[in-house]
Chain A
Amino acid sequence: MSPKTLYDKIWDAHVAHESDDGTCLLYIDRHLVHEVTSPQAFEGLRMTGRKVRAPEKTIAVPDHNVPTTLERLEGIISNEEGRIQVEALDKNAKDFGIHYYPMNDLRQGIVHIVGPEQGWTLPGMTVVCGDSHTATHGAFGALAHGIGTSEVEHVLATQTLIQKKSKNMKVEITGKLRPGVTAKDITLAVIGATGTAGGTGYVIEYCGEAIRDLSMEGRMTVCNMAIEGGARAGLIAPDEKTYTYVKGRPHAPKGADWDKALEWWKTLYTDEGAQWDKAITLKGEDIQPVVTWGTSPEDVLPITATVPAPESFTGGKVEAVKRALDYMGLTPGQKLTDIQIDTVFIGSCTNGRIEDLRAAAAIVKGKKIKDGMRAMVVPGSGLVRKQAEEEGIAQIFTDAGFEWRLAGCSMCLAMNPDQLAPGERCASTSNRNYEGRQGYKGRTHLVSPAMAAAAAITGHLTDVREMM
């Protein structure tokens, strides 16, 4: 048998039908659903009289629209349209009999944090969601990617997706990371190296010593942003860390099922000699704490650098950079550490897990945020919030002047009231720095949790290594 990649193995185990032209029906093991990209899909089922084929494999949670302020505990969503969407999900979950974590359930949170936390996400699975950051689940060695609403309806009705196989891309991070460098810096550095279209048409497998050394949460951060590099899915082969993380979670296999699962999971790795269609290697020790300066996630530089000039780029990127610098209010040659920050956002499916909050709290401890700074921490789930409160981390943040919020997507995409004002500049642990992403004319710099915490204290983008 010819050697296979991890992606090949998971793909082969899920092909339910293959047509002569190579178009496949890929069977879906877990379908995650949130309130923004699903209402039209459920409506489609109702109009055609179709049912959800596998409700036991379908899990829903509202996250994009939910307020993160305490008023929500009284069930209040002041935005009328947002409330209608959340209520539509309440009703759809009930009518179609799917698993559901309502807004005020302790287990509610960002769908990509809830899935792994509850043990829905397991190695070797196919996982989809009407959300591009579904790539997150690839950290478990699951083939996980975002789909559109028509595809959500297709999966609800048939538990399959019409797919052609993607190409294989290897991203290897060798060696050790230096102090102050995190999973977020790895994933941004990779996008900086490949560009936002570098992974288009590929499934990425991240490997190498620096990836192996990451915790499961760090691996989720890396895979989460595979999509910003253009790849629909990012994968990391499961190992002992994966099994330890999964074991004992509410929906993880138990008893004889666990043993059987483990036996299969241990076969999920890329065989020696497997073919890659594309491969890049970065040295772990070369990666520095990074920050984005523009309006595309590929606009990445080490914190020690200066704002680049448009002329240093080629092709269509020259105009794009001129536009980005104008939008961001930056001048070529300006030191990145001189950029003043108005707001700090710590949270999102990229960096809203307990280790992220611990890393930020370690920088914040015993200090105060800069006068006039708006800083908020939005835990990724109710359980992350609870754990942070029990560990005393919440207290560190509130003592320093941070707002301590309820779980949700919040200012990552600013669908709820958590938004930037025009011209307001934010150091954010989220995943996209597009124009208007965090609010109309808002300016976003993507950073790691520790770097965001450092900026909250000093009032400007800061090299976190100076505060360690």
Chain B
Amino acid sequence: MDKFTQISGIAAPMPLVNIDTDMIIPKQFLKTIKRSGLGKNLFDEMRFDRDGKENPDFVLNKPQYRQAQILVAGDNFGCGSSREHAPWALLDFGIRAVISTSYADIFYNNCFKNGILPIVLPPEAVAVLMKDAEKGANARIEVDLENQTVTASDGEAFHFEIDAFKKHCLLNGLDDIGLTMEKAASIDTFEASAAAARPWV
């Protein structure tokens, strides 16, 4: 997994609430057995018509947002299906951070497994950053994970909270499985006592 330390990039505004993972990556693209290559189908049904022609009104098709690295989105981003294809598609497109008031739990977790930072901020802060994002390519937003800040293009900074363990893993690009395997002795011990207490499992 790629480390996440800080980025300064263009943010695309998506003020819609309840953007679900079916919107982020429709099911016809879940037939892959790979993690890569999903960026071209990110938001497919909003981005393209049936013939594959771009919808010029969709934010990521506008010239100023094609290189966006950040999404500023409405409440409850990433609700619905557990498909990790959603963060895979975002990452493959080039999105490294999302800013919203709230996320669905499974999507939120999935982001951290893929080097994407989902930032939670209060509604007033998201509104300021949404306005900033609407300015287009001239408004670069800065995200600093170490200091837990998002800075708008005019210098106004917002502090965000994040779980310390998740932050540590993201900053260092750590592989969860490797970390857990270091605790194999604890798992062995638990497994033996659970097997004695609940032999039917």
- Do chains A and B interact in one complex? yes
* Interface 9-residue window, one of A78-86, A93-101, A379-387: A78-86
- Report A307-334 CB contacts with B as 1/0, cut-off 8 Å: 0000000011101100100000000000
Would B198 and A37 count as touching, CB distance under 8 A? no
| A201 on interface, CB distance cutoff 8 Å | yes
- Report A23-34 CB contacts with B as 1/0, cut-off 8 Å: 101010100000
| A415 on interface, CB distance cutoff 8 Å | yes
Point out the residue from A15, A84, A200, A232 that lies within 8 Å of B76, measured CB to CB: A200
List residues of chain A with CB within 8 A of the CB of B83.
36-37, 148
Would B22 and A122 count as touching, CB distance under 8 A? no
Would A79 and B31 count as touching, CB distance under 8 A? yes
Cα–Cα distance between A148 and B35 once the two chains are bound (Å): 12
Cα–Cα distance between A195 and B27 once the two chains are bound (Å): 24
Q: Which residue of A lies closest to B76 (CB)?
A: A197
B92 CB to nearest chain A CB (Å): 13
Point out the residue from A25, A79, A257 that lies within 8 Å of B200, measured CB to CB: A257
* Interface 9-residue window, one of A151-159, A211-219, A277-285, A396-404: A151-159
Cα–Cα distance between A11 and B18 once the two chains are bound (Å): 29
Would B187 and A17 count as touching, CB distance under 8 A? yes
| A373 on interface, CB distance cutoff 8 Å | no
A-B contact sample (15 more), CB < 8 A, given A122-B200, A151-B110, A435-B45: A15-B190, A17-B183, A50-B177, A122-B201, A132-B106, A145-B106, A148-B83, A261-B200, A296-B18, A315-B75, A320-B74, A323-B16, A415-B28, A415-B31, A434-B80
| 19 A/B residue pairs, CB under 8 Å, sorted by A | A16-B191, A23-B163, A23-B165, A25-B186, A27-B194, A82-B31, A85-B33, A146-B82, A148-B109, A162-B180, A197-B18, A200-B103, A201-B105, A260-B200, A264-B198, A319-B15, A432-B20, A440-B26, A440-B50
Would B200 and A151 count as touching, CB distance under 8 A? no
| A58 on interface, CB distance cutoff 8 Å | no
> With A25-B180, A39-B33 as given contacts, are A316 and B75 in contact (CB-CB < 8 Å)?
yes
Would A162 and B176 count as touching, CB distance under 8 A? yes
- Report B45-74 CB contacts with A as 1/0, cut-off 8 Å: 100001000000000000000000000001
- Report A142-171 CB contacts with B as 1/0, cut-off 8 Å: 000111111101100111101010100000
**What total of chain A residues lie within 8 Å of the partner, measured CB to CB?**
79
List residues of chain B with CB within 8 A of the CB of A415.
27-28, 30-31
List residues of chain A with CB within 8 A of the CB of B32.
81
> With A29-B201, A154-B176 as given contacts, are A197 and B186 in contact (CB-CB < 8 Å)?
no
Cα–Cα distance between A125 and B198 once the two chains are bound (Å): 10
Would A158 and B181 count as touching, CB distance under 8 A? yes
Would A230 and B165 count as touching, CB distance under 8 A? no
- Report B2-26 CB contacts with A as 1/0, cut-off 8 Å: 0000000000000111101011001
| A437 on interface, CB distance cutoff 8 Å | yes
Would A27 and B191 count as touching, CB distance under 8 A? yes
List residues of chain A with CB within 8 A of the CB of B22.
432, 434-437
**What total of chain B residues lie within 8 Å of the partner, measured CB to CB?**
56
List residues of chain B with CB within 8 A of the CB of A13.
194
The A interface is mostly helix, strand or loop, or mixed, namely loop
A345 CB to nearest chain B CB (Å): 15
How many A-B pairs with Cβ below 8 Å? 191
Would A164 and B163 count as touching, CB distance under 8 A? yes
The 10 lowest CB-CB distance pairs between A and B, nearest first, are A253-B200, A150-B113, A81-B31, A16-B190, A39-B33, A148-B110, A148-B84, A316-B17, A146-B82, A17-B186
Cα–Cα distance between A414 and B167 once the two chains are bound (Å): 37
Point out the residue from A43, A145, A151 that lies within 8 Å of B113, measured CB to CB: A151
Which positions 7-66 of chain A face chain B at CB distance < 8 Å?
13-17, 19, 21, 23, 25, 27, 29, 36-37, 39-40, 43, 48, 50, 57, 64-65
| B155 on interface, CB distance cutoff 8 Å | no
Cα–Cα distance between A153 and B180 once the two chains are bound (Å): 12
Would A21 and B165 count as touching, CB distance under 8 A? yes
Cα–Cα distance between A146 and B35 once the two chains are bound (Å): 19
> With A37-B82, A130-B82, A414-B27 as given contacts, are A88 and B109 in contact (CB-CB < 8 Å)?
no
Q: Which residue of B lies closest to A195 (CB)?
A: B76
- Report A91-134 CB contacts with B as 1/0, cut-off 8 Å: 00000000000000000000000000000001011000011100
Q: Which residue of B lies closest to A323 (CB)?
A: B16
List residues of chain A with CB within 8 A of the CB of B76.
196-197, 200, 230
| A303 on interface, CB distance cutoff 8 Å | no
Cα–Cα distance between A440 and B31 once the two chains are bound (Å): 16
Q: Which residue of A lies closest to B46 (CB)?
A: A435
Which positions 371-421 of chain A face chain B at CB distance < 8 Å?
413-415
Cα–Cα distance between A82 and B28 once the two chains are bound (Å): 10
- Report B143-163 CB contacts with A as 1/0, cut-off 8 Å: 000000000000000000001
List residues of chain B with CB within 8 A of the CB of A43.
33
List residues of chain A with CB within 8 A of the CB of B190.
15-17, 27
Q: Which residue of A lies closest to B114 (CB)?
A: A150
| A258 on interface, CB distance cutoff 8 Å | yes
> With A16-B190, A232-B106 as given contacts, are A154 and B82 in contact (CB-CB < 8 Å)?
no
List residues of chain A with CB within 8 A of the CB of B194.
13-14, 27
